[in-house]
Amino acid sequence: MATEPSSGGFHRDVRADFPILAADLDGRPPVYLDNAATTQKPRQVLDAMHAYYCQDNSNVGRSVHTLSMRATDRYEQARERVARFVNASGGNEIVFTKGTTESVNLVAEGFGRELLRAGDEVLISGLEHHSNLLPWRRLCERTGAVLKVAAVDEHGELSAAAFSAQLSDRTRIVAVAHVSNVQGTVTPVGEVIEAAHARGAVVVVDGAQAVAHRAVDVQALDADFYCFSAHKMYGPLGTGVLYGKAGHLARMEALLMGGGMVRRASYDGPLTLAPPPHLMESGTPNIAGAVGLAAAMDYLDDLGVERVAAHDAELTARAAAGLRAQDGVTVFGAQRPEGGIVSFAVDGIHPYDVGNHLNNAGIATRTGVHCAMPFVDSLGVVGTVRASFGVYNTAEEADLLVETVKTAEKGFWSLEHPNDRSLAG
Ligand SMILES: Cc1ncc(COP(=O)(O)O)c(C=O)c1O
């Protein structure tokens, strides 16, 4: 396989930007096709975080000294950068969290808890990640609301019509992934939002798998809330975003009480709290994480989000076509590669064995149920192998994946024990 840097149609040598691609894994560089789990980080992001710690580090909003003011500026500038990236109307609509999971939980508990009454309905889709399923399930159990699930069709596609058919006058919240993390399905989120709004429901979009592969415009979508993670878009671990329309954020309760969210506090007298987004960010935030996320957004904008989308889709389509052409290989989902993900199973071979075989060839994929057990169960398999593509991947890597799958053999894991899914997530 050619391992020389490949431009992938970008104006710069993208592979040279990612130090980990030069790592030595048993004598060869990694073929990293696990980008939907987390992407690698470019030097530009690492440098921005390093510079923050070397030149600006302090705590935010706490002091009048120069470093504290610099740290505060960097943090708030990052918030404005995020707002521009997703076209929020301003930084006041951007809450920093530690990831999509926290963002969804924040909406469920901080917004949904007050909103829902017994008999109300929360509608999700049949392809959700546990992070956009379990918070709603628990919220329904606690409030007496009903959790409804809009089924996907036999191709794993979510039709806007099928979704709308599940809406009712009791639907208060709709929560849906923009892109499925299992098979890359792009959901008709704009139509879902329109239909939900027509019934008076609020829509929470899980954008974890969308932001690295497509331009996201929260105002054009008219999303009420939009959640995503920095680490899946070339940014650092431990930082995420909750976008919320200002009017919704203003109705929300903080989940954590503490420093950084207070205007006036006492033991038993008046308590005046800061407005959002600081209301939801009590405690010392991950300042370097926000700085790194802003740098990742600069990086993606520099490459061109449309170009990134085309590159990822091209490789995904190439891998999917090669795998589909193989006897005994099932590729899940319709042939729509925009999500950057191809999920497949090999007849008679457990996905962990396929994953081990790929790993022995230096190829990193994700295997199992991808934190979406009900959806994978609906596919009728114990799990899948998921290859997911990013800006540094090459056509040679997609081809290597396809060729290597051809030589996979049955190994340690038994398909007779489908409940043995220790890496289920
Ligand atoms: C669709 C989707 N939603 C939510 C999450 C959770 O993201 P995080 O683990 O960064 O909170 C993921 C992560 O895999 C995901 O793919």
What DSSP letter does each residue of 183-239 carry, written as one string?
T-PBP-HHHHHHHHHHTT-EEEEE-TTTTTTS---HHHHT-SEEEEEGGGTTS-TT-
pLDDT in tens, 55-113: 999 999 878 999 999 999 999 999 999 999 999 999 999 999 999 999 999 999 999 99
424 is a domain residue:
no
Is 371 considered catalytic here?
yes
Element (H, E) at 74: helix 66-86
pLDDT band per the 50, 70, 90 thresholds, residue 2:
very low
130 is a domain residue:
yes
Domain range enclosing 338: 14-32+304-405
For the record, the structure tokens of 325 come out as: 């052409």
Beta bridge partners of 225: 204, 244
pLDDT in tens, 259-276: 999 999 999 999 999 999
Look at the chain and report how many structural domains it folds into.
2
The pLDDT of residue 5: 40
Which residue among 274, 302, 330 closes a domain?
A: 302
422 is a domain residue:
no
Query: How big, in percent rounded to 5, are the helix, strand and coil portions of the chain?
Result: 40, 15, 45
Regarding whether 313 and 265 lie in a shared domain, the answer is: no
Tokens 């499925």 appear where?
180
Regarding whether 315 and 288 lie in a shared domain, the answer is: no
Q: In CATH, what number is assigned to the domain containing residue 281?
A: 3.40.640.10
The structure's pTM equals 0.96
Measured in Å, residue 36 CA sits from the centre of ligand 1 at: 9
The pLDDT of residue 417: 56
Tell which one of 97, 133, 179, 229 to mutate to probe ligand 1, the residue whose CB is within 8 A of the most ligand atoms: 229
Compute the distance between CA of residue 151 and CA of residue 164 in angstroms, rounded to an integer.
11
Regarding whether 176 and 95 lie in a shared domain, the answer is: yes
Regarding whether 181 and 323 lie in a shared domain, the answer is: no
CA dihedral 239, 386, 104, 131 (to 10 degrees): -120
Regarding whether 314 and 293 lie in a shared domain, the answer is: no
Which residue among 302, 320, 345 closes a domain?
A: 302
Measured in Å, residue 290 CA sits from the centre of ligand 1 at: 18
- Please name the residue whose Cα sits nearest to atom 14 of ligand 1: 37
Regarding whether 312 and 294 lie in a shared domain, the answer is: no
1 is a domain residue:
no
> Which of 54, 140, 227, 371 is flagged as catalytic?
371
Is residue 422 predicted with pLDDT exceeding 70? no
Regarding whether 116 and 28 lie in a shared domain, the answer is: no
Regarding whether 89 and 134 lie in a shared domain, the answer is: yes
Regarding whether 317 and 224 lie in a shared domain, the answer is: no
86 is a domain residue:
yes
pLDDT in tens, 125-173: 999 999 999 999 999 999 999 999 999 988 888 999 999 999 999 999 9
Q: Which residues line ligand 1 (CB under 6 A)?
A: 99-101, 129, 131-132, 177, 181, 206, 208-209, 229, 371
Nearest ligand 1 atom to the CA of 38 is: 14
| DSSP letters spanning 46-59 | HHHHHHIIIII-S-
Rg of the chain over all Cα atoms, to the nearest angstrom: 22
Measured in Å, residue 156 CA sits from the centre of ligand 1 at: 19
Beta bridge partners of 175: 124, 204
Regarding whether 311 and 241 lie in a shared domain, the answer is: no
Which residue among 285, 302, 319 closes a domain?
A: 302
Regarding whether 119 and 83 lie in a shared domain, the answer is: yes
Compute the distance between CA of residue 349 and CA of residue 180 in angstroms, rounded to an integer.
24
Q: Percent of the chain scored above 90 by pLDDT?
A: 87
9 is a domain residue:
no
For the record, the structure tokens of 266 come out as: 């006492």
- Please name the residue whose Cα sits nearest to atom 16 of ligand 1: 181
Nearest ligand 1 atom to the CA of 180 is: 1
Compute the distance between CA of residue 161 and CA of residue 192 in angstroms, rounded to an integer.
9
Regarding whether 140 and 68 lie in a shared domain, the answer is: yes
Look at residue 150 and give its three-state secondary structure.
strand
374 is a domain residue:
yes
Nearest ligand 1 atom to the CA of 232 is: 10
Measured in Å, residue 207 CA sits from the centre of ligand 1 at: 9
Measured in Å, residue 136 CA sits from the centre of ligand 1 at: 15
Q: In CATH, what number is assigned to the domain containing residue 28?
A: 3.90.1150.10
Spatial CB neighbours of 394, under 8 Å, sequence gap ≥ 6: 2, 6, 8, 15, 315
